[in-house]
Every structure is written in C-alpha cells, then in structure tokens.
Chain A
Amino acid sequence: MTLITVLITLLTLAAVTYLLSLVNSKLGAYFTIVTSLATIVMLFLIKDSIGQSYSLSFFTFKLTTVGWYFSMVMVTVYFTTAFLNPFWIKKMIYPAAYNLFFLVSLIGTIGMFFARDFITLFICWETVVWTSTFIIQMGKSRKSSYVYYVVSAIGSMVTLFAMMLVYQVSGTLEISTAFSALSGQPVLALIVFFTFILAGLSKIGIFPFHVWLPMAHGSAPHTFSPVLSGGLVKMGAFIAYLSVTAFAAYEVFANTFTIMGIPAPLYIIMVLGAISIVVGTVMAIRQDDAKKLLAYSSVANGGYILIGILLYDQIAFAGGMLHLISHALASATAFITIAIVAYRTGTTKMSELGGMIHRMPVTYTVYLIAIISMAGIPPMGGFVSKWLILQGLADRGLLFLAAAAFFGSIGSFMYVFRPLSAVFLGQLAPKYEKIKEANIMMQIPMYLLTIATLLVGVFPNVVLRVIADIQLEAGIQEIVLVGNTIVVSNGVLDALRVFIVFGYGFLIALVIFILRRKSRRVTLMDTYTSAEFIHTPELLHYSSNFYAPFERLTKKPYPVLNLYEKVSIKIKEIGHMAESLFSSSKPAITIFWIIIVFAIFFLGGVL
C-alpha cells in the first residue's frame, strides 16, 4: 500500500461519506469515525515504506518519520473527535458539508505532512485552511471564521512569497533541495526564514497571530474545537520543524549575530513563543468561557512546542515533539469534555455551570486527567514533555525563555483549575438537576484519550522512540532512552517511577478522603439570605467572577486585536478614498483625472 493509494482511498471515502450524509446525515457522521479509523490503520500499514517518494500529477510526497508522527497525532485527534459527530450533526446547518470538510481537512493535513514540494505543501495547507474556515462558520460566529481566515491568509500568502523566492533562487520546488541553495546568501536567507515561518506562527497561534484561536476555538462547532486545538494548530509546528530541518536555520545563520548561542532570527521567534506562553496563560486565566480558556491555553502550549522544536537539540526538541502529542491529547480531551457538558447543558460559560461532578463523574475524571497533563503535573504526558523542554532551556542557559516557561507552568495551574472547579465542582445549579452523564458513544473517545494520555505520561519512551527516529532523520543527536528511562545531562527521568510515587500519594489521599468524609452537600439555593428572595442565584455562584483579584491586576487587555481592526479600518478608509476620488458619477471628475494623468505622464516622460 502506497501513500498515494492511501490518499486516494481516503478521498473516495470522504466522497462516500458525503453522499451518505446527503441521504442520512447521522449515517454519514458515523462514517467519519470509520474513515478516520481506516486512516489510522492505513498509516500503520505504510509505516514500513518510510523514505519512499511518490508523485501524482503535480503533487509529490515523501514518506518521512516526522510526517508519519504528525499524521498519527492528527488522525488520533480526528478519530476520537469523530465520535461526537453523530450527536451534533443534526444541529449543523450543512451536515453533509460538515462531514465532507471534516474528512477533507484530515486528508489535507496528512498530505501536507508528507509533502515533498512547496506546491503540494501549499495546496494541502490551503485546503485545510478553507475547509476549516467553512466548518467554523457553522458554529456560533461568522466573525471568528473571518478572523481565522484572515490570519491564516496572512501566514499562507507570506509563506507563498517565501516559497516562490526560494524557487527562483534554487530552481526547484522540492523542499529539502530548494532550501540548500540559500546557503551563502544571508540576507535572502533571513527574508526567507521570517516569511516562511510566518505560516507556522499564524497557525500555531504565536503572538501576535494568536487572536484567531480564542475566537475560532470558542465559537467553532463543539465537535470541531477539539480538532482545531488538538490537531490543526500542530500544522504550525510542522512548519517550524521544516524551518530548522529543511531550511537548516542553525547552519544558515551560523555565522550571524547570536544571542545566548542561538542565531538571532531563531531567538526572536523563540521570544515570540515565550511571549505567547505568557500572553496565553494570562489571558486564559481571565476567561469565563471554558472553550476560550482552553483556546488561550493552546496559545501558551503552542509556545512550548515552538520553543522546543526550534531549540533543535537532543532534549528540548524531543520535549517539543512529545509536548505536541501530549498537548494534542490533553487539549482534545478537555475540549471534548466541555463539548459534552455543553451538549447536556447548552452552555460553555463557566459562571452558568457548576457541580457537574454530581451528574457527570466520568466526564469529570477525564477532564481532571486532561488538565493534569495540560498543566504539566506528573504523572501525565504533559509533565514529561514540559520537563524535557525546561531541561533543554536550562542546559542552554536561556534564562528569559525558561522564566517564561516556568511562568506558564505555574499559570496553567490557575487556569486549568478554574473550569475544574467552576464547571465540575461546587454547587449544582437547579436547572441542571436532571441532566445525565454522557452516553457510552461519547464516552469512548474520552476513555481512549485518557488511556493515551496516561500511556504517554507513564511510558513516554514509546513515543520518544519515534521521536528519536525523527531526530535521526533530522540529523541531530538522538535522545538517549534506556529501558523506561530518559537519560539527560543531569540524571535520568523514569516516568513509571514517578507514576508509582504519585499513585501511592493519590491512594493515600483517597483513603483519607473516604474515611474522613464529613461534608454535606450544599445546593445553590441553600443560602442564608436574611429573608431576601434571591432572584439570580447564578450571581451567588462562587465561580462567577472567579479570579476577580487577579483580573484586576491584568485589567487592560493587550491591543493586538485592535491592531488588526485598525489595519482593516485603514484599508477601508483608503478604499473609500479611492472610491470617492475615482468613482464619481460626475464625468467632470473623470475628465479632471484624465488631464492630471496626462500632465503627470508628460512631465514624467520628459524628465
């Protein structure tokens, strides 16, 4: 089975899904599960032929380990999210189109990860952008879809410029050979580097391109937010990966100005990553909408991944790659749980929720594990990856970046705790007394993802072996793995041992909790009110104004979105000016312009 067969099969399946959806949208939705499962199976089938190249019309592909790894992460997210599709599909305005776009965006990402030339890369990239744009619009907001597209377009158009520039210099579109022509041309290389990586930055949501994430994640259909955050954001990481491997930023900029031993251009991008960590964290803490909160956390985690990959060494790179999967799993899980809560309650606003643990214990547990991983608390996947990234930063002595990363780690406690307590813990609002736990079909992805998160956390070496292969492929030192331990410069990390220690701790806590349980259930209306009637009990809910003191500290939101709006207004103003100058319905104005043009031309022609 070749990659081409896989892609064609998938396209066929997507078409079949579409046709089925036209007949019965729910059936089509089930078929998205089948198709994404088939993708996983087929990816395993083609794993043996890594290193081969394929071409089809103007598409060329190369099967690489890194592509395979990225595809696996992506398809896992898609597969698990697909389980939600049947329940939401009836609510979509265009169910058949949703199913089709869902699958086409998956195929697009796979094509992109295996792209061998720029055109294939760009076409697949744009396919994903457009299909996801059209999916996002089916959610709550058209504006978010618009912002998503514009930010993506900024990235992709600028990157297309870089691609064409490289093509002009090298005469080839093949990614790996094309970039090699840039060596010895530092200025050109600098332009290409910054323009090329822009697509990655815009997609992974690096400051100042992060504006789309909270909007799009927050308002996309609930079944697509997990894919956006867990999956599609990682496309940016792939571009970052290309910029250090195919573009070989470290070699190209080896002789240029360096900061802390890192070439300045790379350092600048890393600093942007660090800023994203800080901004994402701070903003996440402030959010009331659970999905927006998770979206901002994706911004922060994108910063980790970017820094890890760009460091391009033995440890941090492995950490970045590992964080890719651990964040994908955790974020997809978190979004899925929020989606299920929203499915049952109809809202994602934390101030309106609370006490869901009483009604949805499974969802609660799954969410807990996901946020533990997301916050980087052992023994989940996020811990190992963040630890590796911090280790790498510390080894290099990159203090500023390390400080940002530490800040993000600590901040993430604050923000992941908020939905936990606001949505799941505390008092149950009266209107939610009757809601039920997620049904078994919805529970499947939660179990699958939780198991995966635990696996990555406890046995990270399973994944790290693939990452070591990627490092081999990329030509950097492989991470040293002995048995179940990871060997780094100042010791070893045994995730299993960490898990066991934490497991004991957890057990002891559990025993104490069960034995000493004396708490009384307090409902929301169970309040002492001095004979006053409570009209809006929601205001008394402790999760409203959750982090008020903290929010007062960071009162002023940063002005990036304003910047985009200002540019847009400026464009409109210029457009308006052009319109009023040149599109007057009075002929005299046009005659005037003819005269002016003539005069300018004559003076220009004579001078």
Chain B
Amino acid sequence: MKKIFIGIFVIAFSVVFLLAISNSVDLFTYNDSLSSDSVSNGYINKNVTKNQSEVIFNETTDAETGSANIVTSIIVNYRSFDTLGEVTVLFLSAIGVSLLFGSTGKLAERKKSGFILRTAARIIFPMLLVTGTYLFTHGHLTPGGGFPGGAMIAASFLLLYLADEKFVTAIEKIKLVEGSAGTLYVLIGITGLVTGGYFLANFIPTGTVGQLISSGIIPLIYVLIGLKVGAEITSVVSRYLQEEVTS
C-alpha cells in the first residue's frame, strides 16, 4: 500500500520534472549538427591553440593532440585533469575498501569450481590480458582506452578467482603497480609543467594522427591508467573475496 503511494508520488513528480526540464532541454528532437558555439568544435578540429581548420586521418601531423579518437583526446589531453581526478576517485575507493576490510589475507570459503571453468580460465585469462592491454595501448586510435582496458585486466583476475578457489593475488604487488602508475601519471604532469609551462602539457611531439606512436603523452598516460585501473579493480575484487567471512 505504502509503495503504491510512493509510486503515485514519484509518477506525479516525474510529470512535474519532465515539464520543468523541458524548459531547458528539448526532450524529443535532436540537433542535426553540432551547434557552432559548442566547445566541442575546438576538440574535433584540434584548433584550440593552433589555427587549423581540418584534421585529416593519417595526414595531419603535429596537431595539438595527435589522437585520432577525439573522445580520448578530450579525456587524456584537453581535460586530462578530470581524468587524474577520476583515477583518484577509483584509487580512493580501492583504498577505502581495503581500509574497511583490512588485509586478513585469508580466503573466504568458496565452492570448488568446475572442471570446464578451470580449464577454460587458463585459456581465456591470457586472452583477456592481451585484449585489455591492446585496449589501452590503442586507446588513442580506437574505442576503448585505459578504463575499459583496466577493467578487462581486472576481469581476467576475477576469472582466475572464479576458477581457482585457492587463487590469491599478491596485494602488495598490486599496490606497487597502483602507486607507481599514479605517481608516474602525476610526474608526467609535472614534467609537462616544467618543460611546457603547463601541468599535464603534451610535451612529446604528437606525430601523425592515426599512427600508433603518435599523440604525445596520450598513449603513455593511457597505459598508466590501464595499469592503474586494472590494479585498483583487481585489488577491490580481491579484497571482497579475501575478506574473512565470519559466520
């Protein structure tokens, strides 16, 4: 009964909310093209600092950020500071989880996994690892990047956990990866500050748009992010699994 009232209440509010929000945003029709005063035009044409009208795949060189994936260029270059914060958020929640659970090192009692899973895991684990690595090394060229790549690496470890009830990750080593990746990210930023005058400035030549070795610090950072995210999520997962279950 109570839930019905809440339902009616929320429905009524939804109507109000949709009416209200329709003043600010058109709910049913979409633009045909990007509006000219949006900042995104600058990102797409890579002409925020340089006077450049068009970027051509595999031709344009020395663009202000050489990433073919524009979203990546925003994440890791134009708004890289956000990403540093984002990584920190993940870092912080990993720390939070580990602080909450403490490191008992003991495994929760788990069911023994089946033969198929155990066998398949051994095959799939390296594939996942490789795919994850591929995702973050090609983040500046193709969809993907550090975050999905890292998540995939973490997934591969989760798979190991599922497959082997005795599997334990060396949390200390994971932490080392986590910490040093983060430190390196900041150090890259500071190097940018020292050499280019801006924190996180792209101080490496950006190369040709579309090449693997291009776009300056972007792949570098994405690799770091990939490692860091992978390490963090793995650490979160293993914390959950290692936490002693008190009956």
Contacts and interface: CB of A to CB of B under 8 A. Distances in A.
A–B direct touch in complex (beta carbons closer than 8 A): yes
Contacts of A598: 13, 16-17, 20
Contacts of B19: 602
Nearest to A598: B17
Interface string A592-607: 0001001100100110
Interface string B1-13: 0000000011001
Contacts of A606: 20
Contacts of A599: 13, 16
A294 to B, nearest CB: 64
A602 to B, nearest CB: 4
Contacts of B9: 595
A348 to B, nearest CB: 61
Nearest to B13: A595
Interface string A572-607: 000000000000000000000001001100100110
Contacts of A605: 20
Contacts, number: 15
Nearest to A606: B20
A461 B19 CA distance: 83
A83 B9 CA distance: 74
Nearest to A601: B20
Interface residues on A, range: under 10
A326 to B, nearest CB: 72
Most buried by A among B9, B10, B19, B20: B20
Contacts of B16: 598-599, 602
Interface residues of B, number: 7
Interface in B1-46: 9-10, 13, 16-17, 19-20
A357 B78 CA distance: 95
Nearest to A596: B13
A602 B10 CA distance: 15
A606 to B, nearest CB: 8
A144 to B, nearest CB: 50
A595 B11 CA distance: 11
A599 B15 CA distance: 10
Contacts of B13: 595, 598-599
A598 B9 CA distance: 13
Contacts of A602: 16-17, 19-20
B11 to A, nearest CB: 12
A107 B93 CA distance: 58
A606 B19 CA distance: 11
Interface string B73-107: 00000000000000000000000000000000000
Contacts of A595: 9-10, 13
Nearest to A588: B6
A598 B14 CA distance: 11
B243 to A, nearest CB: 25
A602 B16 CA distance: 8
A599 B17 CA distance: 8
Most buried by A among B9, B10, B13, B17: B13
A586 to B, nearest CB: 13
A575 to B, nearest CB: 28
B1 to A, nearest CB: 16
A599 B19 CA distance: 11
Nearest to B14: A595
A595 B19 CA distance: 14
Contacts of B10: 595
A601 to B, nearest CB: 9
Interface string B48-62: 000000000000000
A605 B23 CA distance: 11
A606 B17 CA distance: 12
A598 B21 CA distance: 11
A599 B13 CA distance: 7
Nearest to B10: A595
A480 B55 CA distance: 103
Contacts of B20: 598, 602, 605-606
A588 to B, nearest CB: 9
Nearest to B17: A598
A605 B16 CA distance: 12
Nearest to A592: B9
Nearest to B9: A595
Most buried by B among A595, A605, A606: A595
A606 B13 CA distance: 15
B14 to A, nearest CB: 10
A606 B9 CA distance: 20
A595 B10 CA distance: 9
B89 to A, nearest CB: 21
B138 to A, nearest CB: 42
Nearest to A605: B20
A606 B24 CA distance: 13
Nearest to B19: A602
A602 B13 CA distance: 11
Interface in A114-141: none
A350 B19 CA distance: 76
B7 to A, nearest CB: 13
A53 to B, nearest CB: 58
A599 B9 CA distance: 11
A607 to B, nearest CB: 12
A327 to B, nearest CB: 67
Interface in B101-156: none
A157 B177 CA distance: 62
A11 to B, nearest CB: 52
A591 to B, nearest CB: 10
A101 B110 CA distance: 72
Most buried by A among B9, B16, B19: B16
Nearest to B21: A602
B131 to A, nearest CB: 39
A250 to B, nearest CB: 59
A382 B19 CA distance: 78
Contacts of B17: 598, 602
15 contacts: A595-B9, A595-B10, A595-B13, A598-B13, A598-B16, A598-B17, A598-B20, A599-B13, A599-B16, A602-B16, A602-B17, A602-B19, A602-B20, A605-B20, A606-B20
Interface of B: 9-10, 13, 16-17, 19-20
Which 7 residue pairs across A and B have the least CB separation, nearest first? A602-B20, A595-B13, A599-B16, A602-B16, A599-B13, A598-B17, A598-B13
Given A595-B10, A602-B16, A602-B19, 12 more contacts: A595-B9, A595-B13, A598-B13, A598-B16, A598-B17, A598-B20, A599-B13, A599-B16, A602-B17, A602-B20, A605-B20, A606-B20
